Each structure stands twice: as C-alpha cells, then as structure tokens.
Amino acid sequence: MDKVTNFLLNILGPHSSSVFYSTRQRFLNLLLVILIITFSFSFFENVVLGNLEYAMISVSSCLFTCFMYYLSRFKRIFQPVAIYVFVFLLFLLSPILWHEKGITKTSLSFLFLLILAFSTYIFDGKVRLVFVISTLILMVAFSIGDIINEKREKLEFVNYSIALILTAAALLSVGYYSINRFKKEKQKIEELSKHDYLTQLLTRREGMDRFRYLIHYSKRMKRNLSMIMMDLDDFKRVNDTYGHICGDHVLKQVAKSINKCIRQTDIAMRWGGEEFLVILPETNRIKAYVTAERIRKDIEIINFECSEKSFRITITCGVALFDRSLNEEKNIEKVDQALYKGKRSGKNMTVVI
C-alpha cells in the first residue's frame, strides 16, 4: 500500500524533503493527468463508435497533454510555459469542440471545469476574473446549446460568436498575464543578481558599475567623491567560536548598521567576506570621516547574541578622497592602504589618507 501511495505521489511531483515541489506545481500535474485520462477515454469511445477522425483528434490531444505533463513534472523550469500553452489551447479548442462535438458532453463540461480550476488557482487579479467569467458563460452557453439542439433548432452563428469572443478575451488575458509575469520575474532576477544574498547590500559587480558612473560624474563636474573601506576585526574568531550561522547573523546586522548610517545617495557594497566598501558622492574627507566614525561607533555598541551567548565586535575603517588623476584600481588601492594602516595600528579606528 505504501508503494502504491508513493507511486501516486511521485506522479504529481517528487515526494522528498530534499526537493522543493510546491502545491501549485502538484495541482497542475494532477489536472494534466486527469486530462490525459479524459482524452484517452474519448479516444477509445470514438474508436468503438467508428469516429476515426475524432479519435485522431483525441489521441493527438492526449499526446500533447502528455508532453505538457513531461515539461511540468520533469522540466520544472518550463512549467510556466506548459501552463500558458495548455490553457491557450483549451480555449482555442472550445469553438471547434462546440460545433463538432468531438468529445462527449460529459468530457466537454469537465474540460471547462478544468479551465475554471486552472484560472481560479493559478492566475490572480483581473486575469483570474476574466477566466472565471468566460468559463462560466461558456459552460452555461454549452448547456443552452445542447437544449436548443435537442429541439432541432440551431443558432450556430450565435454559438460561434460567443465562443470566439470569450476565447479572444481569455487569450488576451493569458498574453497580458504572461508578459506581465515575465517582466516581474525578470525584474526580480535582476534585483537578486544586484544584491548580495546575505547582507542585501549591492554586490561587488553592481556596486562597481555604479561607482564608475559616479567617477565619470565626478570628473566631468569636478565634484568630490570619497570612499570608505571597512573590515570587521577578528571575524574569523567569531566563526570559529560561535559557528558560521552566527557569523552570518553578524554580517547581516553590520549591513543594517551601514545602511542606517549612510545617505540614500551613497553606495554600499559587500566587497568580499567581511569587507565592505561605501562610496560617498559630493563628500570631502572630513564628512567621509564623520560617516565612517558613525558606522564604527554604531557597530561597536551592538550586543550580538548567538548560541545563548552575547558578545561585541569592532570594525576598522579606511577613508580616502577619490583622486581624479588616478584610475579606479589605484583609488581602491589607496583606500585599502588606509584600512590596513588602521589594522596595523590597533584596529577599531578610522584612518584617513
């Protein structure tokens, strides 16, 4: 019994704590499996009835749904594509199925129940509303159409018009939703790539790109540009004594402290490990020193708590004014020298060059 249960669960998605598989992904796979079964029954029904043309439509739909299931179950990166294409084709088939009756009434009603389930669970906002209303109208119209056809009265023009209008509305909604979601996902990925996953400060690459822009501005407008290089004192001891999880907690708190003490126009990036670099536009040495001291003193008074123990940590800062006669590498070396001068002089201080 356990083997059967695990087999059924694996059809919907990996049943393992080591693999993250969301409920929404399993839901999609379940609907695809149900639709595969529906198309299969329709295929055998049409073969028995001798409707070979409809049997070919059913088997083609079944094979396509199997391919969508393969993408959704084993190639999760393509799952959004599977969703959009699948719903797109369901609505695209609706006027054809309506007129031709290629699938039985039960299967046809069930098909639109699947669309309703998709739209209710997967989409959101106005797109969900359009799908729900469209699907409900289609289901009601199908029922009315069946009653009219039983009385040998035909309203094919009305049937086609309703089906095509609702299909167009649904497809436009899918297109809008797909484009909008793609833009949001792209923006989200870009934002994640620009920020360090632990401290949420800018990554070194993104920070340097913005730094170069400020360099051009500083040179063109002949404005001051200052740099602060910071390094946590004896950070290795924290990792060795309290563990790396505690060390990560310290880095997060230090990053918050840095953000709290600088302006919105300043650039703070994680330079590497426990080193941080802050770029201050429109700032001379004295103001940069004041900012560095504000950060240093703020971190010095933080009471870190890890493993039921509390401790404090200090930071050393090096400050330098950007020299427009030197390139960016030479300026980074200059502020780095200020930092290590502070390290050699006893740590927990700010040194200006």
The residues that are catalytic are: 274
Give the C-alpha separation, 278 to 202, whole Å: 10
Helix (H) and strand (E) counts in the chain: 12, 7
Alpha carbon of residue 77 to chain centroid? 12
Give the C-alpha separation, 311 to 238, whole Å: 9
Q: Write out 233-281 in H/E/C secondary structure.
A: CCHHHHHHHHCHHHHHHHHHHHHHHHHHHCCCCCEEEEEECCEEEEEEE
Give the C-alpha separation, 236 to 211, whole Å: 29
| CB-based contacts of 154, cutoff 8 Å, min separation 6 | 148
Q: 99 and 157 in contact (C-beta within 8 Å)? A: no
| CB-based contacts of 267, cutoff 8 Å, min separation 6 | 202, 207, 210, 211, 214, 278, 279
Axis crossing angle, helix 23-49 with helix 79-100, rounded to the nearest 10: 30
Give the C-alpha separation, 135 to 91, whole Å: 9
The Cβ of residue 1 has, within 10 Å, a number of other Cβ atoms equal to 5
Reported residue count of the chain is: 353
What are the angstrom distances between the C-alpha of 38 and each of 58, 62, 100, 215? Answer: 9, 8, 17, 65
The Cβ of residue 232 has, within 10 Å, a number of other Cβ atoms equal to 21
* Number of Cα atoms under 13 Å in the Cβ half of residue 23: 1
Give the C-alpha separation, 267 to 269, whole Å: 7
Per-position b or e across 151-167, b if 16+ CB within 10 A of its CB: eeeeeeeebeebbeebb
